[in-house]
A and B are shown apart, each in its own frame.
Chain A
């Protein structure tokens, strides 16, 4: 049956809905975005002005660098939390406990990112749970505003990203034969050398997939950043939003979008090159 479908090209019909989806909702808008970014706001003539604005303005550049720095930092923090958790889940816990922990990790994602962010606001705001608890314990005398700090934003971002880091690492550790770990010990290895030489190299594809996904999600995040970081969150997506929605400068917004997209693609590509991972292999 498959052969006949292949011959008649009917197999392509199965792909059609997805191709339409991607073509109409992703490729076409991005082509439009790309064209807009090279047009003058008023005349529509070809111009590089929109890009020049970015490269000459210390403010936009600064925000961009800040965004990239914090995205990298968030990815690393997420990795630092997710890897030990995934290791314990796969190699230490019993089957039953494993299922419970995995459910506990997945459960928070049953509510949307928006609700998650609101929950953090309930905890972190000046009259929130954290502030109240500190005061009740007598540690502080006044209410403290925990919102609108870089680290608050990061807590929220790590939280929304955790699952996307844990699951790929979990999968890669599942395929690690326990006897490799035993063999390492048997040959004189200790915990750290076994980690460095056997476990981390084996789970590298999972680490890469997780890191790429988290980095992309964080770099392009808007909801968590705006709600927890406020007006001063200095996230690049906010600049794009402002250009499109506040200033009605679609062309400038388009240029910013293209810059962000190009940068993320190059960054991921470079990362894969440096760590000698193959994208098809890693995915």
Chain B
């Protein structure tokens, strides 16, 4: 085994009555990595985290932390700590007492020693000197850091984070995102982070597990997930994507590349799962990977610009396809560089992309996707 594994789930299933919240989930989290569980609300990611923390017991399957099976270990005896979504700081104590809480429970340490460790932990998260403050005197970002310090002071094998950034405003969330990543790299502690916000997961994680309806859709690095989604769900959930639905697979160019007929137009993309010519498919194309040229060119797909949404560093251009038998439009993201083509609403343009920018999956009706 090349890497040491800190947390391991083996065929874990959790049922609440008839509801299967987590369905036969297995994954390994390497030591010192930043691992994210990404999924929409109700996907079961919180249940997985709570099972690792010990607040829920798996219906079947095993959970290992640091090589030890912990199914029967209560939460207060597990070598992992959790940063709660609503932080769950103790309002009846000041900041320092909050951070010392775990140390006091552990015992076997002088008060001086505990205070030193707690103050160290506060300094590490940038809150040196605020130990005597009450919790409600701190800002949202500072409370976040107290919650981190309170867990980190115990030097856990694994730190579990339950969407702690969700309650912050956008600016602060961006800042904390980077800070959290740097902190994790500096400490080398294994982080398991759950979120429904794919931008957060992509920015911070070494590895992301995408969860949907209690099952794992894909476990991969953020880049792999973005470029080569393994399922229809991952392609639609992670990142922005054009979704062209209900096309037909014409032929397989080779193992990887497929040609799709979409409203009479032929388009190329990666074959995302086993399929055969004639299958009804959806094609996903990343808006920023499409080449847009003013005028008519060949080869390429002809279109007319119907909308331009200026967004600072780039514009999102909506192009209606001219040669399509049914109304189809594609969004193209154009960076505002020196070479950026200048287009106006009503202009005729040509779109093209490398096959790697597209991903082909079997068609999934919208309500099931």
Contact = CB atoms under 8 A, between A and B. Distances in A.
Interface of A: 177, 179-180, 182-190, 193, 197-198, 201-202
A14 B90 CA distance: 41
Given A179-B86, A193-B105, A185 B92 contact: no
Contacts of B54: 185-186
B12 to A, nearest CB: 19
Nearest to A180: B88
15 contacts: A177-B86, A179-B85, A182-B84, A183-B90, A184-B90, A184-B101, A186-B75, A186-B81, A187-B81, A188-B77, A189-B76, A190-B76, A193-B105, A197-B90, A197-B101
A183 B88 contact: yes
Contacts of A186: 53-54, 75-76, 81-82
A183 B92 CA distance: 14
A201 B154 CA distance: 24
Nearest to A188: B105
B90 A185 contact: no
A185 B74 contact: yes
B: interface residue count bin? 20 to 34
A268 to B, nearest CB: 22
Nearest to A182: B55
- Secondary structure at chain A's binding surface: helix, strand, loop or mixed? helix
Contacts of A179: 84-86, 88
A189 B102 CA distance: 7
Contact of A187 (B55, B92, B101): B101
Interface in B88-115: 88-93, 101-102, 105-106
B304 interface: no
A198 B105 contact: no
B45 interface: no
Contact of B154 (A188, A193, A197): A188
B150 A187 contact: yes
Given A183-B89, A184-B90, A201-B92, 9 more contacts: A180-B90, A182-B82, A185-B75, A186-B54, A187-B101, A187-B150, A188-B76, A189-B105, A198-B92
Contacts of B150: 187
A182 B88 CA distance: 8
Contact of B102 (A177, A180, A187, A190): A187
A202 B82 CA distance: 21
A197 to B, nearest CB: 7
B149 to A, nearest CB: 12
Contacts of A184: 90, 101
A86 to B, nearest CB: 18
Contacts of A190: 76, 105
A186 B55 CA distance: 9
CB-CB nearest 7 A-B residue pairs? A187-B102, A188-B105, A183-B88, A179-B88, A201-B92, A185-B75, A185-B76
Contacts of A198: 90, 92
A193 B85 CA distance: 23
Contacts of B93: 197
Interface in B14-60: 53-55
A9 to B, nearest CB: 37
Nearest to A204: B92
A198 B82 CA distance: 17
Contacts of B89: 183
A188 B93 CA distance: 17
Contacts of B81: 186-187
